[in-house]
Structure formats: C-alpha cells, structure tokens
Amino acid sequence: MDASVAIAWLVLRLVCGLILAAHGAQKLFGWFDGPGLAGLEQGMRAQRFAPARLWAGLNILGELGGGLSLAFGFLTPLGAAGIVGAMFMAMMKVHWKNGFFNSKRGIEFPLSLLAISTAIGLTGPREISLDHLFGIVLPYPWLFVILAVIAVAVDVVGIAISRPAPSTDTMPRASA
C-alpha cells in the first residue's frame, strides 16, 4: 500500500481516537473539566438510565477504550464498534433534539466521529498500527459490522428503558 495512505489513515485514527479518549477521560477521571465517574452516573440517573453505573461504564468503555483502541490501531474493530455505540447513543439522547450544527450542540460532531470510526472499522487500521505490528489479522469488515450492530442494539435497549413512563393520568380532572 502507498505510504501516504497509511499515514493518512494513521492521522484519522489518532485524531478521532484521541478526541474520544479525552472525552472518556473527562467522564472517568474528571480530567479536562469533566464530570468524573460520580458526575457521569448522576447524569445517567437524571436521564433515567438504570442501572446508572452500567450505562456510565458502557459510555466510558466506548469513548475511552474505543478511542485508545482506534488511536493505537489495536483490536480495531472492537474499538471502532464501541465508538459507534457511544456516538449513536450520544446523538439520540443528547444531540438530536438540538438539530444538526455543533454550534447548538447538534449531531454534527458525534456524527463525524461515528463516520470516521465506521470507515476505520470497515477497512481496518492499515499498516501503521499495533494490529499490524503484532500480526493481528481480524476478519474485516464482518467482525466490525457484527459488533457495531450489537452496540447499536444495546443503545436501542438503553433508549427504550430510559424513556419516561407514559402518564396514567390522561383524563382531565374535573374542578371541584
């Protein structure tokens, strides 16, 4: 493969992976003015995720774990699928209601990260990666597709269980 393509793929992996790893570090450690694990769990509870610690852990795994996996090109389909799951959930639960543009906290930014990680997940990390260095040969694109579908399915379950319960009081009350 052409060296410039391998370098370009490395740049994409590093930028996308390190951005996500930094977001995951905010959520786990409280670094970079992040909420830390306790704050993330509180946010998950406020969004009706139960158990909050499980959903916080999945979020951190997708962002920090997936980000580092992508950046290093190590077990790349797992990391890329974790990012797809984390970004899909972020778009649906947080950003969708704000429209498209990032200036209004819309889906633009998480959609970009999801698209980059999907492209890398479908093609593999290329030559400049730990997968290549260690001779790890994974079945692209099928392994990524299967893992990404599972991640999105878990997200759909999370979205469903975190919805507010329908109101049982649908009839207007008569005034006394």
Q: Render pLDDT for 128-176 as a digit per residue (tens, 0 to 9).
A: 999 999 999 999 899 999 999 999 999 999 999 998 877 665 555 555 5
Q: Render pLDDT for 41-62 as a digit per residue (tens, 0 to 9).
A: 999 999 999 999 999 999 999 9
Q: Render pLDDT for 104-113 as a digit per residue (tens, 0 to 9).
A: 999 999 999 9
Residue 135 · residue 74 · CB < 8 Å: no
SS3 18: helix
Rg (CA), the chain: 19
- CA–CA dist 138, 123 (Å, integer): 10
Distances (CA, A) of 128 to 19, 49, 118: 19, 39, 18
Domain positions in the chain are 15-161
Distances (CA, A) of 162 to 56, 92, 133: 13, 12, 42
pTM (whole model) above 0.85 = yes
If you ran DSSP here, which 8-state letter would residue 144 be given? H
- CA–CA dist 153, 33 (Å, integer): 31
Question: Once rounded to an integer, what is the mean pLDDT over residues 66-88?
Answer: 98
Residue tagged 């990012």 (tokens): 83
Residue 139 · residue 147 · CB < 8 Å: no
Q: What percent of the chain has pLDDT over 70?
A: 93
φ, ψ for residue 150, nearest 5 deg: -60, -45
